[in-house]
Every structure is written in structure tokens, then in C-alpha cells.
Structure 1
Amino acid sequence: MANEYPQVMTIAGSDSDGSAGMQADMNTFFAREVYGISVLTACVAGNSYGIHAAQPLTTDFIDAEFKAIADDFHVLASKTGMLTDKQTIETVTKNYKQYHFGPLILDPVIITKHGAMLLEADAYETLKTLLVPLATVITPNFFELQKLADMEIHTDADMITAAKKIQAMGAKNVVAKGAHHIGGDLKEVKDLLLLESGEKVWLSEPYHDTEHINGTGDALSACITAEIAKGQSITVAVTTAKKLVNQAIEHELAVGHKYGPINIWQMRV
């Protein structure tokens, strides 16, 4: 029968080199055996050396994408990625409220894994005000965690405080990612899952010193989305995603000349 297979949706930009964005999300959905649907918000021209051009899509077109999906599919869970600007965030919020697309996993693409700001001030405030309160799960990287919580993070206690601050903004469950940009003698990457109930789950995986980490955040949030759509609990979904993304980083994929993608093929098992 129609729509029996688990369907999930990514609301994100297209990354032409395939390492991140919608492409990384769709590859992760495929690896985790769910059917992926996409709402494109922007198109990015880039490769392993960097981003060379970007073109946001019009809000009218984004509206049309949402309606087309709502008219035909049964989406069990959704995730966001690159939302580009204030108008796009407002459009995504409006459509997510209008239709039923399941729990929202918010990957707040605010700051890169290297600490560079991606959103203008008005877009950042709009995301924080409109989308964060809708999130069933939010997955900020280390720099985004500091930005959203408006504090520096140095200890486990700091991570807990920051996650609680984001939870107070309305997000139900917070995946607070630890620092992995230090290098040197770093042995593990330690993340915190703060559940809606207040329970804290610490997640630790070995650190891998590699430049092939493009798409890490996309794959993590996409995997969480897929596992929730298949009926897993938040804890199991996040734990599974953390483990599988670490496998994808560990087993490098020799693609591109500089900053390469993670090996999403390793997330099948």
C-alpha cells in the first residue's frame, strides 16, 4: 500500500560536491533504509577546497515544494540544514506549522566546525526565536552551542549549563557536541544528550585526526531523523547516530584534494 515505507524529509541546501547538505542527508537516509524527500532552500557551488558561489531559492518556490510533498507523502520525521536567511527561515517555519511532517530535528547551521559565522544577525535571531522552539531534537556543534547559550564552554558542567539554556528556549532534547577542533593529544569526542525529562546521557567516541569530516553534522542529524522515523527512542536514535558517524569518520574516503567527506557508506551497519 502507498506510504507504508518510512519517509523522512530534509529541508536544506544542495552542496554540489556531495559532501554535505542535502546530498549528505539523502545518502544517510539511504544508508539507514528510509525514503528521503527534500525541500531545497539554496544551491551551493563548491568542492573540497571551499564554497565558490551560493544561490538561495525563492520563498514562493520553497512554498511550492512543501505543498507538493504534503499533497502526496506521509513524512514521519524531518530535519533542517542550511536555511540561508531570515525570509527562508520564516517560510520554513510557516510551512512546518501548516503541514504535518513529524518531529523536527534541527541542525542549526549557524557556525562552521571551524568557528566561522554562517548566518547574518537577523537570520540568527529568527532561527532562535521561530525554529528552536519547534525542535524535538537540536544538534548544535561546539561553536553553535556556545553561541546559542551565550557562554564559553570549558568543562562538562559548562556543557550541561549550555544545554539547559537551549532547552529553556523551547527545544525538547539537546545534543550538545563537544570540542573536536583541538587536535594534538585529543583522544575522544564527548557529546551530551540532555533529554526532555532532564536525564543526561554522555556519548563518547574516539577522536580521529583527519580533514575528511565534511558532512559530519548533516549525517548525524539525518541519522537521528531516520532512526526516529523507524520508531526508535530519542536516546537510541542519538546513540546510534553518534556511533555510526564515528565509523564514517574513521574509515576515510579518498575523495577530493583537501577537506573531504565522511564515508557515509560505513553507516549502513
Structure 2
Amino acid sequence: MRIAQALTIAGSDNGGGAGIQADLKTFQELSVYGMTVITAIAAQNTTGVQGVFPISYEGIAQQLDSTGDDFKPNAVKTGMLYSTEIIQLVAEKWRHYEWSNLVIDPVMVAKGGAPLLQQQAIQTLITELIPHARITTPNIPEAELLTGMSIRNLSDREEAARRLVQMGSTYALIKGGHDTGGMIVDVFYDGRSFHYLENIRIVTPHTHGTGCTYSAAITAELAKGSSVLAAVTTARAFIQAAIEDELGIGAGHGPTNHFAYQRRQRGER
């Protein structure tokens, strides 16, 4: 039996709640073998980001080549790419190794407000990488930056999803966690019709790494051969469980619970 493999190209979070650490935990929980290419090292905890230290261009290129020369990932996700040069490099290696199932989580700003993508790199992400995406998964502030529009309601989210597909992403998911109200509505667009994933909003500060975890779960399910809508549906259940069954770690925005989904599947709480 061939084991499903997934690659994450992202930053490192020493606190373990986001970035490659969250991605690997999610891959493991969903029975997918995970690999990493580290783009930057963030010094951070639940109270904020104290520093961001990019890996050298040569270091990232060698990681990508080492992976591509030996492994065959069934799906690849990008997280924190940080700069124009890194985005261009990832796009180049993507084409060279002919990888598939690209999930773009356009990480731009940390929970505490620290920038994780240089301003000039946003346009490069749009022109160089999004056209290769199977699905792009921004939250509302990220979608506003990518599409150049204000998002105030459900109709705006639908329009933002359309624009992402027009940019070349095969599918788009606009996450609704930054909206207000008792329900969270994520808008999924397949290029023809919309699907709405609704969940009860959990009032908690422990949401660090939700975007990374959500997109990693999509990546894992795509690696196993799921349809995109099925992957998004499973990933939504995964992140809902991770938020509901909070760990309560740290003094600020604590991490989500990556154990929760599988424990629920086994009937444990």
C-alpha cells in the first residue's frame, strides 16, 4: 500500500501551534506522511511574534530540491512564504517537479498583528503562485488584500471567491472566522456554484494556528485522493473539533487541539 505523502512549505513556530509544527501534527492525525521545507523561523509564543528570521534563498532551494529529487508528495501546501524571491522560487520548483494539489494558505499577518508577508510580495503571490493552486484558502483580511476589495457580508465573500478563481486558483475558500455573529460561514466556490460550511462560533482566545491547521487538513485529504469539497468538509470538522476541545495552553492566543478530531472519531472526549 502506498502511503499518502504531503509537503508543507512554511515557517516554523517554536510554540508548536502554527506553521510547520501545526501542519505536521495535522498530517499525522489524518494518516498522511508529512515533509517540510522551512522558509523562516519565527520566535513566538501565545502572546505574539518576537522575531522573524528568514532562511536563506539557497537553503530553501536546497530543501526543495532534496525533497523533489527523492519524494513524491501527493499534495503540497504553502504557508508563510515571506518574500517575493521565495514565492518565485517555490513557483519555479513547483513547475520543475510537476507536483500536484497545491493548497495556498496566504499567510500574511500573525494573530498579534505582526506582518508575515512583505507588502511587495502580495502581487507576486497573485501572479506567480495562485495560478497553480488547486485551492486558495484566505481568511477575510487576507482575501481583501488579495482581491483589493472590502468584504463586509456574504455577498462580498462570494465575489472575493470568484476573483480568486479568475486569478487562476481552481477552487477558493473564503473563511469566515473574522466575521461577527454566532455562526461562522465559510464560502467554498468551485468555479460554478457556492457551498456554505456553517459552524457555531466558539468564543475562546485559543485559536492560534487555525488557518494553518485548516489548510493542512485540506492538504492531507487531497493527498489521500478526496475530492476538494470532501477535503474541505473534513477539514472544517477537524478545525471545529480542535477549537471546541481547547487545550488552554499559554497566556495569550493559545494553540488549537490537534488531537480532538480523531478522539471524537473514536468516541473519546
The residue number in structure 2 matching 1:60 is 58
Residues 183-233 of structure 1 show CA distances to partners (whole Å, capped at 9, x for unaligned) of xxx21100110013x121110011001110011000110000000111110
The residue number in structure 2 matching 1:108 is 106
Structure 2 residue aligned with 1:140, among 131, 138, 141?
Answer: 138
The residue number in structure 1 matching 2:41 is 43
Maintained 8 Å contact 1:75/1:100: no
1:38-187 counterparts in 2 under 5 A?
38-112=36-110, 117-180=115-178, 182=180, 186-187=181-182
* Cα displacement (A) at 1:259: 1.1
Aligned CA distance change for structure 1 residues 133 and 35 (closer, same or farther; 3 Å): same
Task: State the distance in 1 between where 2:220 and 2:241 align.
Answer: 17
The residue number in structure 2 matching 1:253 is 247
Residues 121-147 of structure 1 show CA distances to partners (whole Å, capped at 9, x for unaligned) of 211111111111111000000111122
**Local SS of the residue matching 1:121:** coil
Residues 126-181 of structure 1 show CA distances to partners (whole Å, capped at 9, x for unaligned) of 11111111110000001111222211122222111111111111111000112435
* Cα displacement (A) at 1:241: 0.5
* Cα displacement (A) at 1:264: 0.8
Maintained 8 Å contact 2:48/2:112: no
Maintained 8 Å contact 2:18/2:209: yes
Q: Give 5+ residue unaligned stretches, structure 2.
A: none
The count of aligned residue pairs is: 263
* Cα displacement (A) at 1:101: 2.5
Residues 43-102 of structure 1 show CA distances to partners (whole Å, capped at 9, x for unaligned) of 111111111111111111111111111122121000000011111111111111111322
Task: State the distance in 2 between where 1:116 and 1:219 align.
Answer: 19
Task: State the distance in 2 between where 1:120 and 1:264 align.
Answer: 29
Structure 2 residue aligned with 1:224, among 218, 221, 237?
Answer: 218
**Local SS of the residue matching 2:38:** strand
Maintained 8 Å contact 1:113/1:142: no
Task: State the distance in 2 between where 1:115 and 1:154 align.
Answer: 20
The residue number in structure 2 matching 1:13 is 11
Structure 2 residue aligned with 1:194, among 170, 189, 192?
Answer: 189
Give the letter for the 1:78 counterpart. V
User: How much identity, in percent, do the aligned residues show?
Assistant: 38
Q: Give 5+ residue unaligned stretches, structure 1.
A: none
Give the letter for the 1:123 counterpart. A
The residue number in structure 1 matching 2:205 is 211
TM-score when normalising by structure 1: 0.93
Aligned CA distance change for structure 1 residues 100 and 129 (closer, same or farther; 3 Å): same
User: Is 1:266 matched up with 2:256?
Assistant: no
Q: Which moved more, 1:20-29 or 1:112-121?
A: 112-121
TM-score when normalising by structure 2: 0.93
**Local SS of the residue matching 2:120:** helix
Runs of 4+ in 1 over 4 A off after TM superposition: 112-117
Task: State the distance in 2 between where 1:217 and 1:74 align.
Answer: 25
The residue number in structure 1 matching 2:30 is 32
Q: Which moved more, 1:211-220 or 1:63-72?
A: 63-72
**Local SS of the residue matching 1:75:** coil
* Cα displacement (A) at 1:114: 6.7
